[in-house]
């Protein structure tokens, strides 16, 4: 490709950063032992996993024993939902979630419904926010789990998980229950604080490839004392919670990447927020009918979701790709579909406006020059499509 790609799809995935690649490299061919074995080579691998666990625990402000390494964010979410549901099914079968969750939450919950569980789906306002009081009001005596994402992958809206956790637990206690709270925080790492004590969650999911680690590694925080049936049984790794020989290089990468993301978080938030605001104001200045989707006061700094009335998002993306600009129409897991985003529809957008949306997500190497090129390209593409 002759022209350098301007990559604005960091909410879908990120490249592996050099420091992370350097950290994981020795565990492919030099420290390749199985961490479950007893000899010295195995100890090197075991030490790598232990150090990564300590790095993750430091960011999450939790015990190392509460960190479970998984294969990805989808596995983390499935393990949290199905694991708690299975462990607590004799106590209750009611689960609460929101209408804008990732499909790796919504689809497992659909499976649980077919297995006899009752799922309440909370609506969101036009910015994509869950009403914490409504979440608490939905709690019943048989409610065993509440799962609300920390930050949305399509529009960037951030939920007040601390308040939601506090209110639903208080309501559950009043009713004599003991609800557990899970949050999908895949998009939040490196952008928001992930102190699990402050958030008040019992389970929290992360994935590596959103923070410059490779695809194929994730984390599930499981607070001590939280009942959890494992999805995978076998060798008993991860304290019986996720069997399978540890993917040591990727686990090392996850620890390094999360530590770097947290160290650089404030600078990342300031820089990408400034670029995002410039993109939005410039595009709206040229096309005043552009709609910015998501809560303007509670959102990630690096995501903007824009709707352009009168055109569809897919042709806009193709026009951007022709100019070597990579963007998305929403969730990467459903980008091949022409169906309107369930997130935007839940926020009250019409089907026409929902399918006209484009998501731009900035990363650590995004520049002002690149952003200016995007600002120039989008109005030109939209105008041409409207003329057609």
Q: What would the pLDDT profile of 248-290 be if each residue is shown by its tens digit?
A: 999 999 999 999 999 999 999 999 999 999 999 999 999 999 9
Give the chain's end-to-end CA distance (angstroms, integer). 29
Give me the CATH code for the 6-15+265-387 domain, please.
Answer: 3.90.1150.10
Give me the residue spans of the domains in the chain.
Answer: 6-15+265-387, 19-263
Return the SS3 of 359: strand
- Average pLDDT over the chain reads 96
Q: Is 62 a catalytic site residue?
A: no
Cβ neighbours, 10 Å, residue 386: 12
- C-alpha atoms less than 13 angstroms from C-alpha of 57 in its C-beta half-sphere: 16
Residue 16 clears pLDDT 60, i.e. is over it: yes
Q: What is the CA radius of gyration of the chain?
A: 21
Question: Using CA atoms, how far apart are residues 321 and 315, in angstroms rounded to an integer?
Answer: 10
The residue-averaged pLDDT of 169-173 equals 98
Question: How far is C-alpha 6 from the geometric centre of its chain's CA atoms?
Answer: 22
Whether the Cβ atoms of residue 263 and residue 63 lie closer than 8 Å to each other: no
- Specify the pLDDT at position 388: 87
- Specify the pLDDT at position 333: 53
B/e letters for 277-305, b = 16+ CB within 10 Å, e = fewer, are: eebbebbeeebeebebbbbeeebbbbbbb
Say which of 119, 326, 333, 345 is annotated catalytic: 333
Which one is the CATH code of 19-263: 3.40.50.360, 3.40.190.10, 3.40.640.10, 3.40.50.1820? 3.40.640.10
* Cα–Cα distance list, 55 to 23, 60, 188, 385 (Å): 13, 9, 17, 49
């Amino acid at each position: 490709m002759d022209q350098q790609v301007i990559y604005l799809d960091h909410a879908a995935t990120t490249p592996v950063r050099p420091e992370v690649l350097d950290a994981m490299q020795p565990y492919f061919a030099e420290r390749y032992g199985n961490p479950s074995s007893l000899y010295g080579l195995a100890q090197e691998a075991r030490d790598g996993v232990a150090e990564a666990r300590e790095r993750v625990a430091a960011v999450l402000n939790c015990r190392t024993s509460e960190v479970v390494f998984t294969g990805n964010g989808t596995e983390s979410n499935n393990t949290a939902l199905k694991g708690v549901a299975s462990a607590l099914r004799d106590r209750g079968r009611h689960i609460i979630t929101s209408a804008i969750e990732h499909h790796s939450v919504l689809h497992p919950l659909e499976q649980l419904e077919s297995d006899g569980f009752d799922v309440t789906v909370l609506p969101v306002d036009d910015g994509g926010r869950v009403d914490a009081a409504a979440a608490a009001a939905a709690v019943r005596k048989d409610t065993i789990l509440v799962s609300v994402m920390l930050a949305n992958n399509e529009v960037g809206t951030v939920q007040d998980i601390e308040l939601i956790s506090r209110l639903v637990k208080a309501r559950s206690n009043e009713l004599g229950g003991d609800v557990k709270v899970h949050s999908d925080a895949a998009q939040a790492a490196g952008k928001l604080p992930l102190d699990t004590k402050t958030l008040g969650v019992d389970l929290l999911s992360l994935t590596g490839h959103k923070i410059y680690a490779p695809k194929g590694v994730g984390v599930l925080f499981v607070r001590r004392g939280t009942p959890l049936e494992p999805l995978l049984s076998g060798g008993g790794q991860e304290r019986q919670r996720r069997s399978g020989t540890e993917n040591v290089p990727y686990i090392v990468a996850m620890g390094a990447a999360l530590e770097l993301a947290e160290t650089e978080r404030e600078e990342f938030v300031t820089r990408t927020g400034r670029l995002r605001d410039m993109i939005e104001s410039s595009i709206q200045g040229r096309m005043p009918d552009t709609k910015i989707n998501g809560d303007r006061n509670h959102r990630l700094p690096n995501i903007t979701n824009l709707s352009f009335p009168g055109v569809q998002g897919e042709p806009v993306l193709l026009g951007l790709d022709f100019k070597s600009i990579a963007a998305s129409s929403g969730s990467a897991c459903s980008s091949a579909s022409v169906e309107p985003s369930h997130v935007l529809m839940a926020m009250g957008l019409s089907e026409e406006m929902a399918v006209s949306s484009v998501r731009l997500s900035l990363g650590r190497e995004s520049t002002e020059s690149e952003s200016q090129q995007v600002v120039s390209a989008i109005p030109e593409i939209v105008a041409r499509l409207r003329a057609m």
